[in-house]
Amino acid sequence: MIRILTEDDIRRSLMRISHEIVEKNKGAQDLVIIGIITRGVHIARRISKNIAIIENVDIPVGALDVAPFRDDDKRTSREEDKSQIDFSVEGKKVILVDDVLFTGRTIRAAMDAIISRGRPKSIQLAVLIDRGHREFPIRPDFVGKNIPSSKDSEIVKVRLKEVDNEDGVYIVKVGSEI
């Protein structure tokens, strides 16, 4: 197991991403942030807090369950949707947030899930880690760190205080545990 990012690295990366979001969107008007369950939601909340500091405005944050929209064995029925989005995405600039971007299948499912709730003005993607190996033509707008990794023999693990009692990003060999 190799530690790639420390708590301070994650904090700085998310603050930079927050500034980039504000800059690209010329402020925070019409922004909403949607994090993919589980760790994407916590990252989304941190980004929202950062933008509140930068722009002195609260940005709504939602939690998105992509499982009902997946095209693989992680799919569940639509009745099991655990999303918590209590605002409209209609005409909004949606910042979609996840911890790790890998094949792009989760993001494809997330876009379907968002569009099923309305027609946003745009969807922009923010990820803490981009590890490559895309199977879909999906590219993040905001990236904390690009981490080259082996597709088959390594896993990128993001650990967050809200879930794992620590902040850190690790590369783990398949078959070993943190």
178 pLDDT exceeds 80?
Answer: no
Label residue 90 by pLDDT band (50, 70, 90). Answer: very high
**CB-count exposure of residue 89 (10 Å: 0-12, 13-18, 19+):** buried
Cα separation, 126 vs 114, whole angstroms: 15
Mean pLDDT of the chain: 94
What structural domains and CATH numbers belong to the chain? 7-149 (3.40.50.2020)
Residue 124: predicted pLDDT: 98
Q: What is the mean pLDDT of residues 75-82?
A: 70
Label residue 148 by pLDDT band (50, 70, 90). Answer: confident
Label residue 47 by pLDDT band (50, 70, 90). Answer: very high
132 pLDDT exceeds 80?
Answer: yes
Q: At 67, list the tokens.
A: 């499982």
Helix (H) or strand (E) holding 94: strand 93-101
75 pLDDT exceeds 90?
Answer: no
Q: At 146, list the tokens.
A: 């690009």
Residue 50: predicted pLDDT: 98
78 pLDDT exceeds 90?
Answer: no
**Strands 61-64, 154-159: pairing kind:** unpaired
**CB-count exposure of residue 53 (10 Å: 0-12, 13-18, 19+):** exposed
The predicted-structure confidence for 19-36, as pLDDT tens digits, reads as follows: 999 999 999 999 999 999
Specify the range with the lowest mean pLDDT, choosing from 10-19, 72-81, 148-157, 162-171: 72-81
Q: How far apart are the first and last CA of the chain?
A: 7
51 pLDDT exceeds 90?
Answer: yes
Residue 177: predicted pLDDT: 67
Cα separation, 152 vs 132, whole angstroms: 12
Label residue 72 by pLDDT band (50, 70, 90). Answer: confident
Cα separation, 151 vs 146, whole angstroms: 14
